[in-house]
Amino acid sequence: MKRTAQIKRKTTETDIALYLNIDGTGKSKVSTGIAFLDHMLTLFAKHGLFDLEIKAKGDLGVDIHHTNEDIGISLGEAFKKVLKDKKGIRRFGVGYVVMEEALVRVVLDLSGRYSLNFVEMVKLGETKGYNLRDMKHFLEAFAREAGVNLSIGIKSGSDTHHVLEALFKALGRALDEATTLDPRIKGVPSTKGKL
């Protein structure tokens, strides 16, 4: 059974086509019009071993907000579609990534319930027109749409680029772990019998 999804999202603000294969090899082709986000999503796919294609056009003349958020929504929708009833998956995932001075922890639960807990132990600025606020908007949209309980801790870091890079890599690793099919798990990984 292939675990893939194709998502098309078109609004008056954005036009997005997304393909996701969660059992991939880390290949990606990402073109969002936001160069830094392209870089982050490429790292996310590589370290999560997801095959990911995104082609997005948005009202970037206004700012990046709509495009950034709608890509998060589309990616969340793709994960939700691929995982369906979540039978046989590990459900929980943890990713720690260090990038020079930056250390980021991502812990998640594919419970179907949205939550974003974000702990920053450092003050960060902007890098190439993308900042921590933009990244939070992206993650909120993704987690809400995918139904992910997501906890992120920025433990250290002074370079915004390094912190965000570590975060997207850690998110990829945590999602790879959580979405992995485990032959020991029969049915849905919950005592309720449903997620």
The amino acid at 97:
V
Reported confidence tier of residue 141, pLDDT bands at 50, 70, 90: very high
User: Is residue 53 one of the residues assigned to a domain?
Assistant: yes
In this prediction, residue 195 carries a pLDDT of 80
What is the C-alpha separation between 106 and 36, in angstroms, rounded?
20
What is the C-alpha separation between 77 and 101, in angstroms, rounded?
33
Q: Could you list the residue range(s) of the whole structural domain that residue 134 is in?
A: 4-179
Tens-digit pLDDT profile for residues 109-129? 999 999 999 988 777 777 778
User: Is residue 104 one of the residues assigned to a domain?
Assistant: yes
User: Is residue 80 one of the residues assigned to a domain?
Assistant: yes
User: Is residue 190 one of the residues assigned to a domain?
Assistant: no
Specify the number of domains making up the chain: 1
Strand pairing class (51-58; 14-21): antiparallel
In this prediction, residue 93 carries a pLDDT of 99
Tens-digit pLDDT profile for residues 15-73? 999 999 999 999 999 999 999 999 999 999 999 999 999 999 999 999 999 999 999 99
Res 76 pLDDT > 80: yes
The amino acid at 27:
K
In this prediction, residue 120 carries a pLDDT of 81
Mean per-residue pLDDT for 174-179? 99
CA distances for 3 relative to 63, 89, 172, angstroms:
34, 12, 16
Q: What is the CATH number of the domain that holds 25?
A: 3.30.230.40
Strand 14-21's sheet: what is its strand order? Answer: 4-10, 14-21, 51-58, 28-31
User: Is residue 160 one of the residues assigned to a domain?
Assistant: yes
In this prediction, residue 96 carries a pLDDT of 98
User: Is residue 49 one of the residues assigned to a domain?
Assistant: yes
Which helix H or strand E contains 72, and what residues bound it?
helix 65-83
Tens-digit pLDDT profile for residues 90-111? 999 999 999 999 999 999 999 9
Model pTM greater than 0.75?
Answer: yes
User: Is residue 191 one of the residues assigned to a domain?
Assistant: no
In this prediction, residue 97 carries a pLDDT of 99
Task: Give 14-27 as a 3 state SS string.
Answer: EEEEEEEECCCCCC
Mean per-residue pLDDT for 155-169? 95
Strand pairing class (149-156; 115-120): parallel
The amino acid at 142:
F
User: Is residue 193 one of the residues assigned to a domain?
Assistant: no
In this prediction, residue 129 carries a pLDDT of 84
